[in-house]
């Protein structure tokens, strides 16, 4: 530990050119958010590199990596909360299993579900439900992250839909296919937005108000573990830089 602090002190004491090249590690921070009353944990770490030194404002490049393995473990719960439904005279959807795996720079969501379409026929003054089609299906969705106005967004692309006969045609039709895409999009984007908010909290407090996200991508962290890598900039007043570096030093020393 003394060696790492000595290295840090030497970095701050070097010439302006070397100081501009300063790169410091952000130690791992574990946090959590709630999905359908289920806590989901993420562990994020990263680096901060100074790319502009001197003047009233200094610029740092920031790169954060968050482990999403807990989100992967809760995908079935997440989609059940958003997609399961049983309309008496409409759609019945029951999520059986959902997996989320890396597909750099995107991810691939594979969902197994049971789907039924029901309609009601009025007879003798009563609405009598009738099952029109039903069965098991497999739906694959490619999910690609992007950044819009500093916010992480997801672009879902429905790919393979495997189901027999009329059920397959029904699931591939515009209305049902769009509904599945929109529901999956909404549930995952909500989860990722919560995760991104926690990602920003990974930064030292002095940097959080000055950080902007510029790019995001999914990646394989090994053994099928999904991670999201977020890159951006910190444009911070020069008067706040010493506080920023001090907070990073304190966080490193406390580990």
- Residues 194, 82, 94, CA angle at the centre, nearest 5°? 145
Write b or e for each residue in 213-239: b if 16 or more Cβ atoms lie within 10 A of its Cβ, otherwise e.
beebbbbebeeeebbbbbbbbbebeee
Residue 172 scores a pLDDT above 50:
yes
Residue 8 scores a pLDDT above 50:
no
pLDDT of residue 22: 85
Separation of alpha carbons 99 and 81, rounded Å = 15
Q: Which pairing describes strands 151-162 and 126-148: parallel, antiparallel, or unpaired?
A: antiparallel
| 115 touches 92 (CB < 8 A) | yes
- pLDDT bin (cut points 50, 70, 90) of residue 4 is very low
**First CA to last CA distance, the chain:** 9
Entry pTM: 0.80
pLDDT of residue 94: 95
pLDDT digits (tens, 9 = 90+) for 70-116: 989 999 988 888 889 999 999 899 999 999 999 989 999 999 999 99
Q: Worst-scoring range by mean pLDDT, 19-33, 170-184, 218-232?
A: 170-184
- Residues 95, 97, 102, CA angle at the centre, nearest 5°? 125
pLDDT of residue 198: 65
Element (H, E) at 79: helix 75-83
- pLDDT bin (cut points 50, 70, 90) of residue 196 is low
């Amino acid at each position: 530990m003394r060696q790492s602090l000595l290295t840090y002190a030497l970095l701050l004491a070097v010439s302006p050119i070397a100081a501009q090249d300063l790169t410091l590690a952000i130690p791992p921070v574990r946090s959590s958010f709630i999905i359908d009353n289920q806590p989901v944990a993420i562990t994020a770490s990263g680096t901060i590199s100074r790319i502009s030194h001197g003047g009233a404002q200094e610029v740092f490049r920031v790169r954060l990596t968050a482990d999403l393995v807990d989100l992967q473990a809760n995908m079935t719960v997440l989609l059940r909360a958003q997609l399961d439904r049983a309309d008496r005279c409409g759609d019945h959807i029951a999520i059986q299993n959902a997996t989320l795996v890396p597909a750099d720079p995107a991810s691939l969501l594979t969902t197994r579900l049971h789907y039924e379409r029901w309609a009601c026929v009025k007879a003798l003054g009563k609405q009598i439900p009738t099952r029109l089609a039903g069965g098991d299906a497999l739906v694959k969705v490619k999910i690609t992250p992007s950044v819009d106005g500093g916010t992480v967004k997801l672009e879902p692309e429905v790919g393979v839909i495997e189901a027999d006969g009329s059920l397959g045609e029904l699931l591939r039709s515009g209305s049902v296919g769009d509904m599945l895409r929109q529901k999956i999009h909404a549930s995952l984007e909500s989860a990722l937005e919560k995760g991104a908010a926690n990602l920003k909290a990974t930064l030292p407090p002095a940097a959080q108000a000055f950080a902007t996200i510029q790019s995001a991508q999914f990646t394989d962290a090994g053994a099928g573990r999904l991670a999201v890598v977020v890159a951006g900039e910190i444009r911070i007043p020069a008067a706040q830089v010493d506080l920023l570096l001090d907070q990073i030093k304190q966080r490193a020393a406390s580990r």
